[in-house]
């Protein structure tokens, strides 16, 4: 028998709260929303409403908890235990354990500064003195407000997980959707004495970046539909998604058709929802509302509240119950103290081809790191990790030499999406059907195919809930403060990385795919969608990866934002790729144009070392370059290059007098490839033009490789769909190795 969401209830209000959320990839899921039941409670000091949500998976079943619905709360908080080791058997029975957020991490300072409750009269002081037995790091205490009695209490910031069912508006599906906040909070059980029976938390549905709406992503839209029940005996319903929504007995009527809409307004001192009410009309008589007044929507106040000056309304409306009091703002916004996330980049030449890795942090306290290859084409990050039944954010507590992650169950969104759209489909790929789960997991897993960027071979991995850590920055400093960001990734066996450079154990997906890092879950999506890469040209130095729109400063020009050197051209989309493409209209060598055929696109690659040209374009480039360098003695070609020069008398490539190669881009901008990016020193006495013949049918016709990127700042701006290129920074007396990686404290100075 089907279970329907068509609930027989007396509807008080169907309220919608809408946010913008841009689609990244085309996918039509079997569901349109997530859904949870809503209960009314009359056993507290005032009538309240709760949602029931799954919190954790224990003994092959999910535990449920009830949370008060709060449209104004800045973050989620509930009854749970903070424990650094949350592996199976380590948490006391019938309790929920979560991992602590350290006081050193970015979200700790951010929540305290901008998203915590501040009330000097009743809130306890917040310090970093608290620790957990056996953990050794400071935790992150924050203030919380009891929505019933208004008292201020303390809680500890934590990493959390919540799971809900999906729906098409009529049916509750067994498919599940997970949300993984990096800044919820655990409060002691005593904090909930004034709450209704069996309600042990507050679920934040506000506009705060730490509230639940900020944690739910494609294919869901940021639309909250709330239908509160009028009695305690029958549940209401909360949808998150576009709809449709159906309620009995009119099971063929989408209740969205009954809605009237008005604009949501912003209030500088609140994360709640506001609308504009211009007048109140009673029996055809209008009562004016003062200009610039706003009306707040609340799920914690049982009755409509009016300011005292609405006396006429209070006298007239005797059959309605109105209460008047002052409402105090609970939070003030402070701008982020950083503009980007940052990580060092290393060059590797100990694999089949030159490659570049980014270093992420595994453990803040123990300074453990992981090196992942940079791939701007990969749809999904994968790395060497193993599964546990529960998420362990402090990976070294699993086993010091292992990275532990929690598997994505086969019945949880987005497993089907990953397997259908974001896995590799190729005859060389292993089948992902009927794959047994790794041992001792206790649930079905989600196998996917991943591509080895070194060998081009396809391999097997298992999708997982993952977390990565980067340092924060203002573009000039490398702050000790870090930020966790969350995304779906996948675990592969350590044998999958035999072809990789030494100490590189994974691939970081930086493509435009839905599950790549630029669209990772979290409120920093506007930052992570802008990627700036500066590849080093030598093994002994570090380049830099920024996530954020700048500024970026390199020594010795520490007062010059290198984004001022950028020229921009539109990013183009290809239907069969998640990578980045631009249009090159022509190639200029010493003022002579080489025409590029119309309607071809140029691919950008971080896993191919040299620019590859289709044969017809390649021959034209080599012919022209040979002509303008005819005074340089030729040398025997060294594969894979065909045009080489003797350099013994020139003491290296810097002294070679070769012209720059200008790529004429869309919108009239140029990308100048200077000598250091066009000529590759192969031996002491031979240098070659670092372009490769891709063949007569090469697709794409032009692919720009990493040698041409070295010591150039390149920016992939997914927000504005554009690509930025600085050309060689060496001409500006700096390079990619000149970012200051000295760790400093973030003083929050402007």
Residue 704, domain CATH: 2.40.70.10
Residue 351 has pLDDT above 80, yes or no: yes
Contact 82, 156 (CB under 8 A): yes
Domain boundary among 234, 257, 280: 257
Claim to verify: residue 476 and residue 577 sit in the same structural domain = no
Q: What is the pLDDT of residue 330?
A: 30
Torsion sign across C-alpha atoms 67, 69, 70, 75: positive
Instruction: State the DSSP code for 316.
Output: H
Task: Give the whole-angstrom CA distance, residue 61 versus residue 55.
Answer: 11
Q: How many other CB atoms sit within 10 Å of the CB of residue 261? A: 7
Average pLDDT over residues 620-624: 96
Residue 470 lies in a domain: yes
In degrees, rounded to 5, the angle at the alpha carbon of residue 466 between the alpha carbons of residues 344 and 171 is 145
Claim to verify: residue 599 and residue 505 sit in the same structural domain = no
Q: What is the pLDDT of residue 7?
A: 34
Claim to verify: residue 524 and residue 579 sit in the same structural domain = no
Claim to verify: residue 490 and residue 598 sit in the same structural domain = no
* Closest C-alpha to 215, from 166, 168, 173, 182: 182
Tens digits of residue pLDDT in 379-389: 999 999 887 65
Average pLDDT over residues 707-724: 96
Average pLDDT over residues 430-451: 81
Residue 284 has pLDDT above 90, yes or no: no
Contact 472, 481 (CB under 8 A): yes
Strands 223-227, 478-479: parallel, antiparallel or unpaired by DSSP? unpaired
Residue 380 lies in a domain: yes
Claim to verify: residue 506 and residue 572 sit in the same structural domain = no
| Torsion angle of C-alpha atoms 353, 358, 364, 367, degrees rounded to 10 | 40
Q: What is the pLDDT of residue 412?
A: 78
Q: Which residue has the tokens 């990565």?
A: 468
Residue 481 lies in a domain: yes
Return left, alpha or beta for 30; rule: phi > 0 is left, psi -120 to 50 is alpha, else beta.
alpha
* Closest C-alpha to 393, from 425, 362, 349, 435: 362
Task: Give the whole-angstrom CA distance, residue 172 versus residue 569.
Answer: 46
Claim to verify: residue 521 and residue 392 sit in the same structural domain = yes
pTM: predicted TM-score of the whole model, two decimal places: 0.67
Higher-confidence position of 336 and 423: 423
Contact 717, 620 (CB under 8 A): no
Residue 115 lies in a domain: yes
Q: 527 in helix, strand or coil?
A: helix
Q: 633 pLDDT band (50/70/90 cuts)? A: very high
Residue 738 lies in a domain: no
* Closest C-alpha to 349, from 605, 536, 604, 544: 536
Domain boundary among 199, 232, 257: 257
Average pLDDT over residues 160-173: 85
Q: 158 in helix, strand or coil?
A: strand
Q: What is the pLDDT of residue 386?
A: 81
DSSP string, 530-553: EEEEE--SSTTS-EEEEESS---E
Task: Give the whole-angstrom CA distance, residue 400 versus residue 398.
Answer: 7
Report the Cα–Cα distance between both ends of the chain, in Å, rounded: 61
Q: Find the helix or strand (DSSP H, E) in which 626 lies.
A: helix 615-628
Contact 702, 600 (CB under 8 A): yes
Instruction: State the DSSP code for 211.
Output: S
Residue 270 lies in a domain: no
Q: What is the pLDDT of residue 14?
A: 47
Higher-confidence position of 308 and 484: 484
Strands 712-717, 644-646: parallel, antiparallel or unpaired by DSSP? unpaired
Residue 641 lies in a domain: yes
Which residues 6+ apart lie within 8 Å of 497 measured at CB?
Answer: 384, 504, 505, 506
What HEC string does 453-468 produce? Answer: CCCCCEEEEEEEEEEE
Claim to verify: residue 520 and residue 587 sit in the same structural domain = no
Residue 108 has pLDDT above 60, yes or no: yes
Higher-confidence position of 623 and 279: 623
- Token pair of 333, please? 């916004």
Claim to verify: residue 398 and residue 515 sit in the same structural domain = yes
Total tally of structural domains belonging to the chain:
3
Question: What average pLDDT does the chain have?
Answer: 82
Claim to verify: residue 217 and residue 68 sit in the same structural domain = yes
Q: Where are the alpha helices (DSSP H) in 117-263?
A: none
Q: Which residue has the tokens 């098409």?
A: 168
Claim to verify: residue 604 and residue 715 sit in the same structural domain = yes
Claim to verify: residue 525 and residue 577 sit in the same structural domain = no
Structural domain span for residue 131: 14-257
Q: What is the pLDDT of residue 321?
A: 33
Write the burial class of residue 638 (CB in 10 Å: 0-12 exposed, 13-18 middle, 19+ buried): middle
What HEC string does 279-306 produce? Answer: EEEECCEEEECCCCCCEEECCCCCCCEC
Q: 365 pLDDT band (50/70/90 cuts)? A: low
Q: How many other CB atoms sit within 10 Å of the CB of residue 437? A: 17
Residue 328 has pLDDT above 80, yes or no: no
Average pLDDT over residues 122-134: 69
Domain boundary among 194, 224, 257: 257
Residue 658 has pLDDT above 70, yes or no: yes
Contact 59, 195 (CB under 8 A): no
Q: How many other CB atoms sit within 10 Å of the CB of residue 410? A: 17
Contact 690, 611 (CB under 8 A): yes
Claim to verify: residue 364 and residue 251 sit in the same structural domain = no
* Closest C-alpha to 470, from 98, 102, 84, 106: 106
- Token pair of 580, please? 């980045």
Judged by average pLDDT, the poorest of 176-180, 303-307, 318-322, 589-593 is: 318-322
Residue 615 has pLDDT above 90, yes or no: yes
Highest-scoring range by mean pLDDT, 162-176, 243-257, 302-316, 541-555: 541-555
Residue 407 lies in a domain: yes
Tens digits of residue pLDDT in 516-527: 988 765 545 556
* Closest C-alpha to 724, from 669, 661, 668: 669
Judged by average pLDDT, the poorest of 39-48, 93-102, 729-738 is: 93-102
Q: What is the pLDDT of residue 127?
A: 73
Highest-scoring range by mean pLDDT, 6-15, 311-320, 590-599: 590-599
> In the chain, pLDDT over 90 holds for what percent of residues?
42
Judged by average pLDDT, the poorest of 67-81, 113-127, 209-223 is: 113-127
Q: 270 pLDDT band (50/70/90 cuts)? A: confident
Task: Give the whole-angstrom CA distance, residue 381 versus residue 693.
Answer: 30
């Amino acid at each position: 028998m089907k279970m329907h969401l068509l609930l027989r209830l007396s509807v008080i209000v169907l309220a919608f709260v809408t946010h913008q959320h841009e689609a990244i990839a085309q996918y039509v899921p079997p569901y349109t929303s997530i859904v949870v039941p809503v209960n009314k409670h009359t056993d507290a000091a005032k009538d309240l409403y709760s949602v029931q949500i799954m919190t954790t998976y224990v003994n092959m079943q999910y535990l449920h908890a009830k949370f008060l619905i709060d449209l104004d709360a800045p973050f989620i908080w509930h009854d749970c235990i903070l424990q650094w080791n949350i592996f199976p058997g380590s948490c006391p029975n019938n309790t929920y354990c979560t991992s602590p957020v350290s006081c050193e991490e970015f979200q700790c300072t951010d929540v305290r500064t901008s998203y915590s409750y501040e009330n000097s009269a009743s809130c306890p002081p917040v310090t970093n003195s608290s620790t957990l037995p056996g953990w050794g790091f400071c935790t992150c205490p924050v203030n919380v407000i009891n929505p019933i009695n208004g008292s201020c209490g303390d809680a500890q910031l934590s990493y959390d997980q919540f799971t809900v069912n999906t729906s098409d508006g009529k049916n509750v599906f067994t498919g599940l959707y997970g949300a993984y906040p990096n800044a919820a909070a655990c409060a002691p059980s005593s904090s909930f004495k004034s709450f209704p029976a069996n309600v042990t938390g507050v679920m934040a549905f506000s506009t705060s970046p730490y509230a639940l709406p900020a944690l739910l992503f494609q294919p869901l839209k940021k639309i909250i539909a709330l239908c509160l029940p009028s009695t305690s005996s029958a549940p209401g319903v909360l949808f998150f998604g576009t709809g449709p929504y159906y309620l009995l007995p009119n099971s063929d009527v989408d209740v969205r058709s009954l809605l009237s809409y008005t604009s949501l307004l912003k209030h500088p001192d609140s994360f709640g929802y506001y609308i504009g009410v211009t007048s109140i009309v009673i029996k055809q008589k209008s009562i004016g509302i003062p200009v610039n007044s706003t009306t707040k929507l609340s799920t914690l106040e049982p009755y409509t509240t009016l300011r005292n000056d609405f006396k006429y309304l209070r006298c007239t409306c005797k059959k309605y119950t109105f209460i008047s009091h002052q409402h105090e703002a609970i939070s003030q916004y402070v701008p982020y103290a950083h503009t980007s996330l940052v990580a060092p980049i290393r060059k590797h030449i100990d694999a089949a081809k030159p490659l570049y890795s980014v270093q992420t942090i595994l453990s803040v306290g123990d300074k453990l790191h992981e090196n992942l290859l940079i791939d701007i084409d990969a749809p999904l990050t994968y790395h060497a990790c193993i599964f546990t039944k529960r998420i362990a954010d402090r990976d070294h507590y699993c086993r010091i030499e292992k990275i532990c992650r929690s598997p994505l169950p086969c019945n949880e969104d987005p497993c089907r999406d990953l397997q259908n759209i974001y896995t590799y489909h190729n005859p060389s790929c292993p089948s992902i059907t009927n794959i047994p789960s790794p041992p001792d997991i206790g649930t079905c897993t989600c196998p996917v195919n991943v591509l080895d960027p070194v060998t081009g071979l396809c391999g097997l991995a298992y999708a997982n809930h993952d977390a990565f850590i980067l340092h924060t920055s203002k573009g000039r400093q490398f702050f000790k403060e870090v930020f966790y960001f969350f995304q779906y990734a996948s675990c592969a066996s350590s044998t999958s990385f035999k072809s990789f450079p030494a100490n590189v154990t994974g691939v970081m997906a930086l493509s435009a795919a839905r599950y790549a890092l630029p669209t990772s879950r979290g409120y920093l999506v506007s930052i992570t969608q802008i990627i700036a890469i500066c590849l080093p040209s030598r093994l002994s130095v570090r380049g830099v990866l920024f996530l954020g729109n700048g500024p970026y400063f390199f020594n010795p020009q520490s007062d010059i934002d290198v984004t001022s050197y950028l020229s921009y051209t539109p990013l183009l989309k290809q239907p069969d790729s998640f990578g980045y493409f631009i249009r090159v209209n022509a190639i200029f060598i010493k003022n002579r144009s080489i025409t590029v055929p119309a309607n071809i696109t140029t691919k950008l690659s971080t896993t191919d070392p040299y620019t590859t040209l289709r044969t017809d374009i390649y021959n034209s480039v080599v012919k022209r370059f040979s002509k303008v360098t005819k005074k340089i003695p030729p040398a025997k070609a060294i594969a894979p290059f065909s045009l080489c020069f003797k350099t013994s008398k020139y003491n290296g490539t810097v002294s070679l007098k070769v012209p720059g190669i200008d790529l004429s881009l869309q919108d009239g901008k140029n990308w100048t490839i200077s000598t250091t990016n066009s000529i590759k020193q192969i031996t002491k006495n031979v240098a070659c033009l670092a372009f490769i013949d891709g063949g007569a049918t090469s697709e794409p016709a032009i692919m720009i490789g990493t040698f041409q990127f070295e010591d150039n700042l390149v920016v992939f701006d997914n927000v504005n769909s554009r690509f930025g290129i600085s050309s060689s920074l060496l001409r500006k007396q700096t390079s990619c190795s000149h970012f200051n990686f000295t760790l400093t404290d973030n003083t929050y100075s402007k």
